[in-house]
Structure 1
Amino acid sequence: MSSIENDRLRVVIVGAGVAGLTLANALEQAGVDYVLLERRSEVAPQVGASIGIFPSAARILDQLGAWKGVSEAAAPLQVFNNRDQQGNHISIPDRSPLLLRARTGYSTAWGERQNLLRVLHDNIKDPSKVLVNKGLADIKHEADGVTAICEDGSSYSGHLLVGTDGVFSKTRSKMWELAESDHPELVRADRNCLISEYNCIFGIAQGVTSPLTQPGDVNTCYNVGRCALSITAEGGKMYWFAQERLPRTYRLGEVPRYTDDDARDFVARHANLIYAKGSNGQKLTLPNIWEKTTSFRLVAIEEAKFKLWHWGRIVCAGDSIHKATPNLGVGGNSAIESAAALANGIKRLADQWNTTGCRSTIQEIEAMLAEYQRSRKVRAEAVVDASAFLARSHNMQGWGRRLFVRFVLPHLTEFVPELMGNSIIGATKLDYLPLPMASLSGTKPFNPTQGEGLRESKLKRSIYALPLLGLAFTAAWVMDVSPAVEWAIALRDSGVFELPSGGSVPILRTFYHLPSFDDFVAMVNTFFFPAMYGTDPLSRRQTLSFLTDGVVLLTIWIFESARRANMLTPVQWPNFYAAIGQLLGIGVISPIYCFLHYVVSPIENFSALDQRLTNTRVSLAALPTVVLTYLLPFFALITWPDLAFRQALLFVWQLYPVWAAAALFVISKVFFKDTMLTDKVFRTQRDLPVMRMYVGGAAVLSAAVWWWTWLEYGLFDVFVPSGLPRSRDTLAGFTAEFLRWDETFGFGSHLVWLGYLFWDLQAAGMLREGWFKVAGLGLVSLLLVGPGATLGIGWLFREHILATRRHKNALTPESVGRLHGSAF
């Protein structure tokens, strides 16, 4: 190559947008030679566009020394407001931006795109490397280099050419031409993959004064076929968007282009679009904002996940290879990540060149570019998919999303923040620059092995947990009650229960005054008569121990139902499982509960400390609820002096799941305050003391009853089944075996479940004691203190680990210190 010296690697960057300027900054700080070509006459033009900077991009900007300038020129987000087409709140205002800062160490900032570009440009120490009025006309690809030929006739050569020139990238089009003979199917697929289903007008308004929105407010308005979003900054400045669904889907080459007059027509067409509404009926509408708008633009919204990112010495980054809708605000952030990932590869290549003195071969360059695509493709595509899902939710496209917005979203206030969190945690960093302390201090540490595109497969977890379902089916077969139903009905209809002393107790048939229901409960009650009246001492002791252990189990179920990570999952309704357990036996339903819990609760769900947290209001009500509705009625029906009245208490106890649901609601609402808004940000371990007190106290009671039971009668005689229930020839014999199996399957499945959960901790590097050691201690505990106490101890130990230890790949001061061999 005559136009470039071959003593070090040189990069030609085409396009001085967010990705191009980030890459230029990164290469400059890596000591890599480059030139940046921009087709416009200025690097940071005002086009009415705004941009959100999330912690994923903020960390990279912080590494580059540009974050301070960017954050000072932007508005920090404070409150998310989800609203319907009338401007009314769909869900309570959500202060998740504060949570996001606590999780990551960075605020989520929104500002003018022009300011971001200006800060990135000003951060470059040698501005002569950035050339304007250099529109790309052609690319000349040679064996030893690549040359960008500009529209003004000038040319710039390098060993690598990077296209950061946007969604309609000329670099990408030229790359397709060059690559078509080698990869015809990929090129054909890429030429057809871009779609446009929506358009969007975005603008910046000044002097918007409305009591309906405050600085830091984000208002998102869900409508059928259209949506609106606004971000309010200080001084009445507002960044706003309005979007509508197009009549058909457009593809590359036919995407509509709009004029300012088209934008004005859009505003007139959507003059009834409401951004916010107050309790007094006051509204903030699109026309209200439009009259204060100083810059605006109407564009079609493109979406694309291109497959061919590089060919030869040419590579693309940013919107030219992954284009998302603006609804999640991730486009610029994803572009910054891709620029950082590419800079990492270029830096490694340059270091190899400098160390060996040998110029990088085309094969080495292609291998580096392939690794760049591999490292970014999964996350980039997942972010595009997440934003596409949100766009269709905002526009309530299809009945499924309409139902989601109307019935699910009101109970899922952190829907958008969680999408953001999943797109942030696995973010790329600049490997060769120090990590800022701010990025290591959050409650949801960055982790390159987690996040969008890297989430653990629910199908895989379901397959792993099949043994639990096997236990459920086995329990259903072993504990089949049908052989004993005739005995139970005959006893109920006889009207009396004969006592060993020679006396009898009348059988209560009516309690709730619902004849069919009362008859059914009275029949079920007969199974408990031997334990309740002491006609079978062994069964009575086993039942007392078994149902005392149930206090531990039920309290844990309530804690799990109140956990933030388990919101809107099958484990959120513990009393449903308790009710089924009353009908079929806890031994049948417990394996199903454990299976579902394991599937929906992978370790990645606890990447944020606040996701482990339970609602303290519910947690404080957990044990009082179980004691009042389950334990006390049961002990009363065992010990009440009036033998006939014991059956009335049994009628009450049989419906304890109903009473527990009501009591939990009342106790938690009346006696305790909801502190979740502050707990999740500032006190992520606030529930640990109550967990330890409640589950620990229940475990102590369980262990005491366990010892009291087996010391008198022997462990095997009381607790170990000696045959199938159906093999017994009396109702009392059937019941004794049934309850032994019920306890075996019920608590056995929970102990297996703990084994699965500790295996997850082991795989995440959080179980420092070792899985086999913990399993061995669990077996010892089972013999010493029984299944209920062992379950409680094991669950509390896992809780301690989740609250105090981080994933092995999480970037924390400790992990970075270990990596570099020093304290951080």
Structure 2
Amino acid sequence: MASAEPFRVIIAGGGIAGLALANMLEKFDLDYLILEGHSSIAPAVGASIGMFPNGLRILDQLGCYEDIQDVFGGDVPYSRSHTRDENGHILTTMEDMSGSLEKRHGYGLMFFDRQKLLEILHDNIRQKEKVLCNKRVTGVDLVDGGVRVTCADGSVFPGSIVVGADGIHSAVRDAMTALGNKLQPGYFDPQERVPCYYKCSFGIAQHVPGWVAGEQHLVTGRGRSQLVASGPDDKVYWFMFEKLPETKYDKDIPKFTKEDEAEFVRRNKDVPITESVTFGDVYGRRISSTLTPLHEVVYKKWFFRRIITLGDSAHKPNPLGGQGANGALESCAVLVNTILRTRERRGGALTGLTDEEVETIFTETQSTRHERAELILKRAHDQQTLFAYESPWFSTLIFKIVQPLAGESHLLSSLAALFAGAAKLDGLPVPPRPREIPFDDEVPEKTFNEKTRGLVGKAFVGGVVGGILWIIAAKAFDLPTVGR
């Protein structure tokens, strides 16, 4: 069914995915409306965000990169990154990790307040009247040639499609699944479950005694791990992960109270981060904190008819890998790319998109992104099991033998392989920033020059060497994987 109404995207959720998608649509004169449930577009929820080259490249296309750099006031985000054992002792150190990434990929690694990125994305939107707060989405209906989105206050908004960018507890996904089960039984797998293996204390601290600014720490443990990173304004961002006694699924996944958080801190306050700083030292200087379960999932189906989910509502990895927001940006970019190709095929107009055309757009979006989202999910999960010593002999072998032998070149090569296949906005230029290793979509095979071949070759050799060591380790011990 087609509609004579102009093309309009209803975006449920004004988080990173929703605001980024609005920025992208605006760049190409595509109409949209954001429906955000909070009373403000950048609520102080006390979370940090880690941006890597694959996400920063897209933000650079949108004109947001310089504003992100300004957050750091010209300071180098990270002077070094340490991997530490459960006693806080250094296992390995990478000097100038952010600088190394920037030299290789054009962008470094940046940890800062999630609220700040929301502000930057919102400030970059020209048509702010299209961003509505206090509009919590509660339902979605399919109508002839479009959708109708209902909010908690009773307001209703029509559109051509709806994008659920409303997180892991997505109202859009719930509505989409209910519609699918009613209109096309069997479309969604009734056996599909969302697992939770870990809980996580995360938050923001400031002016922590003994903390060395400009450092990042990945700390191993028995049944737990930590990621603690420096930020601007002498801030410290922490994540402490603790394995649940057993894997929980769906409605059995626990919700935690402030009393649960207090008990978690009491048990872990003396756990070292470095030789001189404990988890309790950081938590004691907290600005904000939360204890939350960690859902890990890439759904089999991201869409139904005129409804699609992106970001955490479609693919949510463990945050230890740092790719949640970066992956959300990639998915938004791919959706916009696919819409633009459709507009071009239709002679420059999107009015009257049929259900079949919309399904083609969504199918191309998911097929382009699904495998990569699963790769990121698995890498983050395996990293978590490794750092939490779920297989103690395997983790010992990796941290005591494999990692020191492979060196930092293997880590950089592994990251290069992850970044290489990243998506971008096809219709916007990427600002010129020097980099030694281009992304896959920047290097047509015929234009490979000798320097590029050499750099990629080195990355390949480094990856092979590290991979051989990894295979040896995996043969000797049972490699932990998702779903064990």
Q: Same fold (TM over 0.5)?
A: yes
Q: Deviations over 1:199-255 (max 9, x none)?
A: 111111111232x6232x111110110111211235431111111101111111121
Within 1, Cα distance between the matches of 2:6 and 2:20? 21
Relative distance call for 1:115 and 1:570 in structure 2 (3 A) is closer
Q: Deviations over 1:496-552 (max 9, x none)?
A: xxxxxxxxxxxxxxxxxxxxxxxxxxxxxxxxxxxxxxxxxxxxxxxxxxxxxxxxx
Query: Counterpart of 1:55 in structure 2: which amino acid?
Result: P
Query: Counterpart of 1:409 in structure 2: which amino acid?
Result: Q
Compute the RMSD of aligned alpha carbons: 2.5
Relative distance call for 1:418 and 1:245 in structure 2 (3 A) is farther
Within 2, Cα distance between the matches of 1:240 and 1:357? 45
2:188 aligns with one of 186, 189, 193? 186
The CA deviation at 1:101 is 0.7
1:309 aligns with one of 302, 308, 328? 302
1:72 aligns with one of 70, 73, 95? 70
2:209 alignment partner in structure 1 = 209
Matched, 1:196 2:193: no
- Is this contact kept in 2: 1:82–1:89, CA < 8 A? yes
Relative distance call for 1:310 and 1:185 in structure 2 (3 A) is closer
The CA deviation at 1:127 is 0.5
- Is this contact kept in 2: 1:313–1:365, CA < 8 A? yes
Relative distance call for 1:220 and 1:571 in structure 2 (3 A) is closer
Following TM superposition, where does structure 1 have runs of at least 4 consecutive aligned residues deviating by more than 6 angstroms? Answer: none
Relative distance call for 1:351 and 1:33 in structure 2 (3 A) is farther
Within 1, Cα distance between the matches of 2:413 and 2:267? 33
Relative distance call for 1:307 and 1:448 in structure 2 (3 A) is farther
Within 1, Cα distance between the matches of 2:244 and 2:468? 37
**1 or 2, which has the higher strand percentage?**
2
Matched, 1:427 2:422: yes
Relative distance call for 1:183 and 1:420 in structure 2 (3 A) is farther
Query: Counterpart of 1:209 in structure 2: which amino acid?
Result: P
Q: How does 1:321-336 map to 2 (within 5 A)?
A: 321-336=314-329
Query: Counterpart of 2:278 in structure 1: which amino acid?
Result: T
Query: Counterpart of 1:349 in structure 2: which amino acid?
Result: T
1:249 alignment partner, SS class: strand
- Is this contact kept in 2: 1:92–1:413, CA < 8 A? no
Query: Counterpart of 1:188 in structure 2: which amino acid?
Result: P
2:218 alignment partner in structure 1 = 220
2:400 aligns with one of 398, 406, 423? 406
1:382 aligns with one of 353, 375, 382? 375
Within 1, Cα distance between the matches of 2:374 and 2:264? 31
1:257 alignment partner in structure 2 = 255
- Is this contact kept in 2: 1:349–1:360, CA < 8 A? no
1:753 alignment partner in structure 2 = none
Within 1, Cα distance between the matches of 2:94 and 2:269? 25
Query: Counterpart of 2:203 in structure 1: which amino acid?
Result: G
Q: Deviations over 1:78-108 (max 9, x none)?
A: 3110000111111244433222111111121
> Which structure 1 segments of 5+ residues have no match?
278-282, 451-558, 573-824
1:749 alignment partner in structure 2 = none
Query: Counterpart of 2:217 in structure 1: which amino acid?
Result: N
Relative distance call for 1:96 and 1:9 in structure 2 (3 A) is same
Moved more, 383-392 or 353-362: 353-362
Query: Counterpart of 2:432 in structure 1: which amino acid?
Result: M
Relative distance call for 1:449 and 1:384 in structure 2 (3 A) is farther
The CA deviation at 1:177 is 1.2
Q: Deviations over 1:345-375 (max 9, x none)?
A: 2233344556367621111111111001111
Query: Counterpart of 2:123 in structure 1: which amino acid?
Result: D
Query: Counterpart of 2:53 in structure 1: which amino acid?
Result: P
The CA deviation at 1:7 is 4.8
2:32 alignment partner in structure 1 = 34
**TM-score of the pair, normalised by structure 1:** 0.52
The CA deviation at 1:130 is 0.5
- Is this contact kept in 2: 1:231–1:240, CA < 8 A? yes
Relative distance call for 1:563 and 1:142 in structure 2 (3 A) is closer
Relative distance call for 1:234 and 1:309 in structure 2 (3 A) is closer
Relative distance call for 1:565 and 1:150 in structure 2 (3 A) is closer
- Is this contact kept in 2: 1:176–1:187, CA < 8 A? no
1:197 alignment partner, SS class: strand
Relative distance call for 1:152 and 1:447 in structure 2 (3 A) is same
Within 2, Cα distance between the matches of 1:156 and 1:41? 18
- Is this contact kept in 2: 1:81–1:218, CA < 8 A? yes
Relative distance call for 1:258 and 1:565 in structure 2 (3 A) is closer
Relative distance call for 1:375 and 1:51 in structure 2 (3 A) is same
The CA deviation at 1:571 is 10
- Is this contact kept in 1: 2:413–2:463, CA < 8 A? no
The CA deviation at 1:143 is 2.6
Q: How does 1:170-569 map to 2 (within 5 A)?
A: 170-180=171-181, 181-182=183-184, 184=186, 186-190=188-192, 192=193, 194-210=194-210, 213-215=212-214, 217-277=215-275, 283-353=276-346, 355=348, 359-399=352-392, 400-414=394-408, 416-438=411-433, 441-448=434-441, 564-568=462-466
Within 1, Cα distance between the matches of 2:423 and 2:131? 25
> Which structure 2 segments of 5+ residues have no match?
444-456, 471-484
Q: Deviations over 1:757-803 (max 9, x none)?
A: xxxxxxxxxxxxxxxxxxxxxxxxxxxxxxxxxxxxxxxxxxxxxxx
Query: Counterpart of 1:425 in structure 2: which amino acid?
Result: A
- Is this contact kept in 2: 1:328–1:420, CA < 8 A? no
- Is this contact kept in 2: 1:8–1:353, CA < 8 A? no
Relative distance call for 1:565 and 1:152 in structure 2 (3 A) is closer
**1 or 2, which has the higher helix percentage?**
1
1:48 alignment partner, SS class: coil
Within 2, Cα distance between the matches of 1:271 and 1:250? 25
1:276 alignment partner, SS class: coil
1:95 alignment partner in structure 2 = 96
Q: How does 1:1-150 map to 2 (within 5 A)?
A: 6-74=4-72, 76-150=77-151
The CA deviation at 1:333 is 0.4
1:327 alignment partner, SS class: helix
- Larger relative contact order (C-alpha < 8 A, sep ≥ 6)? 2
- Is this contact kept in 1: 2:7–2:351, CA < 8 A? no
Within 2, Cα distance between the matches of 1:411 and 1:266? 36
Relative distance call for 1:189 and 1:95 in structure 2 (3 A) is farther
The CA deviation at 1:567 is 3.0
The CA deviation at 1:5 is 8.6
> Percentage identity across aligned positions?
32
Moved more, 267-276 or 441-450: 441-450
1:577 alignment partner in structure 2 = none
- Is this contact kept in 1: 2:413–2:462, CA < 8 A? no
Relative distance call for 1:48 and 1:136 in structure 2 (3 A) is same
Query: Counterpart of 1:80 in structure 2: which amino acid?
Result: S
1:412 alignment partner, SS class: helix
